[in-house]
Amino acid sequence: MRALFLQFTVVIIAVNVVSFFYLPQVLWSMLIFGPLILLGLRDITQKSHSILRNYPILGHMRFLLEEIRPEMYQYFVESDTSGRPFSREQRTIVYSRAKNTRDTIPFGTVENVYETGYEWVNHSLSPKKMGHADVRVQIGGPDCKQPYSASILNISAMSFGALSKNAVMALNQGAKIGGFSHNTGEGGVSPYHLQGGDLVWQVGTVISVAVTKKENFVLILLLLIRRKNKLR
């Protein structure tokens, strides 16, 4: 392919040189061929990508297709239920509810309800009352002075930097209403986390951000516990 490119370059240059004397209008073609020739020469002289050295100019198509592959797969290959981690059907429900529009589709479902492992919820004429202890786990043994009854389902780690203050406040208020805990994620504890819900301060990967001295760490920890008694 490199030899073909070089032959093509020589022919284009020769045609334009001859056209300079007999048909100068042909020189306008160099507005198109000139940048392509320069790009091809750069491709065959660079040493970073073997594809570009072997397939000058055309090799860029490979990187272009690789760049748009996720979009092509999403729009033309992926079905409404096969996406990961969330399918198009699940994302559509979220978008519809966020816009306060109807999120239901009439006349059945596209799910394979007979597939092995498919789960669903049926109505019961005599529902069983679930005890409070059935969905919680006790953290701390007999020697623990402040044991904690943790919910099985909680809010996982999402740092303040990845969310807005309103989102953090809403999450912690929801934790308070639902009786479960809220993990701060990286970034430490902000005032927006302290809305009354149980809070788990993630310090394993953020000590260098949260504190500067060991004694400050202990002081901040004690102040937060005394302030709300919600830090776990």
Name the residue with tokens 């308070």.
Answer: 176
Name the residue with tokens 């776990």.
Answer: 232
pLDDT of residue 201: 82
pLDDT band at residue 232 under the 50/70/90 scheme: low
Which residues on neighbouring strands pair with residue 231, listed in sequence order?
A: 199
Q: What is the largest CA-CA distance in the chain?
A: 101
pLDDT of residue 224: 57
Span 55-67, average pLDDT: 90
Q: If you average pLDDT over every residue of the chain, what do you get? A: 81
Span 65-86, average pLDDT: 85
| pTM for this prediction | 0.43
How many CB atoms neighbour CB 83 within 10 A?
A: 15
Helices (H) and strands (E) in the chain, counts: 8, 4
pLDDT of residue 218: 55
How many CB atoms neighbour CB 56 within 10 A?
A: 26
Going by C-beta distance under 8 Å and a sequence separation of 6 or more, which residues neighbour residue 20? Answer: 27
Q: Residue 36, by phi and psi: left (phi above 0), alpha (psi -120 to 50) or beta?
A: alpha
Q: What is the pLDDT of residues 92-126, one digit of tens each?
A: 889 998 898 888 776 677 777 888 888 887 888 88
Span 191-201, average pLDDT: 87
pLDDT of residue 208: 44
Q: Which strand (E) or helix (H) includes residue 110?
A: none
Cβ pair 188, 209 in contact under 8 A: yes
Q: What is the pLDDT of residues 114-168, one digit of tens each?
A: 888 888 878 888 877 776 666 888 888 888 888 888 888 899 888 777 788 899 9
